[in-house]
Amino acid sequence: MTKHPLLTPYVSKALNLKNRVVMAPLTRRRATDDHIPTDMMRIHYGQRASAGLIIAEATNISPQGTGYINSPGIYARKQVEAWKPVTGEVHKKGGVIYLQLWHVGRVSHPLLQPGGELPVSASAIKASGMISTPKGQKEMVVPRALEKQEIKNIIDDYVKAALNAMEAGFDGVEIHSANGYLLDQFLHDGSNIRADEYGGSIENRARFLMEVTEKICDAIGNEKTAVRLSPSGIYKDMFDSNPVELFDYVVDKLNRFELAYLHILEPMVELKPEEKYKKYLKEVTPHFRRVFHGTLITNCGFDFDSANKIIADGNADLVAFGKLFISNPDLVERFAAGTPLKPWDENTFYKGGERGYI
């Protein structure tokens, strides 16, 4: 492999990429109040089309799945039509773009839910922290545990969203099962205490994710379907008593789908206190490289040198970058030329407008 494997093409059964640089999905809240993508988003993604792969921001599969103001959706006709110029711009510039499908579960608030209803989750267990609402910052609420029939309905929502994404011109979809959102809430025994077939054993807790994945694969094809996991993620109060055993099972079971890729996150936050998280992996990607048989994307905290190393060592095929892409739309070109990178401005991450976005 060359000195800079990150900049070499990557070809698999599902992917044909000009380099191994991935733009990570980044919630930026530039959609309308009705969750419709804007022209600013077309410019934003088009400016970053030199990435081998763009994973567009987490996108709501339904009104119930919404937890963030001005986040885009993919459930309504106007949203599908508004995404088409975005994908068209990326394709015009030779890029490849997947859409991340999102249901936030308990990470919401009645002020963000249809009819002021409670958010839903695997169980009626509250996440700590605050959330932005149309009436300012509010404390998270105790969610309502989903009924079994409702789970089936949400699976249908995922499938419809995937089909809508294909109609909107995306090259594939990534199922968001990480970072403390709905599918992740079902996986962990700290947020799932159900007594039915979706709770209890690891097999049962993984059932929802497997059913969503199977149905989406059936609808749009395995080669257009991907999954994101955070095996050592404690974001949004996530906890599991046996995280390695849990995710060894989940990742092994995902092998049977022959996915376009698996997107694995290294820990986003420090695993403190150490006693509580002593069973958690501090280095995630090399472990799951041995478990997963397909294309593996790693993410969180990488720079040019560490990204090249993890690929050269054989522990990942592609590396995703988030904050570096915020302030460097020409990140690939800067990597190739050895040009210094511009710093990001956190004050622009979630505030609407062009500054810090395009």
Residues with catalytic function: 181
Strands in the chain per DSSP E: 10-11, 16-17, 21-23, 53-60, 97-102, 120-121, 130-133, 136-139, 144-145, 172-177, 225-229, 261-265, 296-299, 318-321
Q: Are 101 and 67 in contact (CB under 8 A)?
A: no
Q: Which residues pair with 320 in a beta bridge?
A: 22, 299
At 173, give phi and psi (nearest 5°).
-130, 150
Q: Are 279 and 298 in contact (CB under 8 A)?
A: no
Q: By C-alpha distance, which of 262, 84, 261 is closest to 170?
A: 84
Which tokens sit at 89?
């711009």
Q: By C-alpha distance, which of 275, 288, 286, 187 is closest to 239?
A: 187
SS3 assignment, position 52: coil
CA atoms lying within 13 Å on the CB side of residue 145: 15
Which residue shows structure tokens 């390695």?
244
User: What is the rounded CA–CA span in Å between residue 124 and residue 144?
Assistant: 5
User: Rg of the Cα trace of the chain?
Assistant: 19
Which residue shows structure tokens 């839903």?
120
Q: Residue 193's CB: how many other CB atoms inside 10 A?
A: 13
Which residue shows structure tokens 């773009």?
97
Q: DSSP label at 354?
A: S
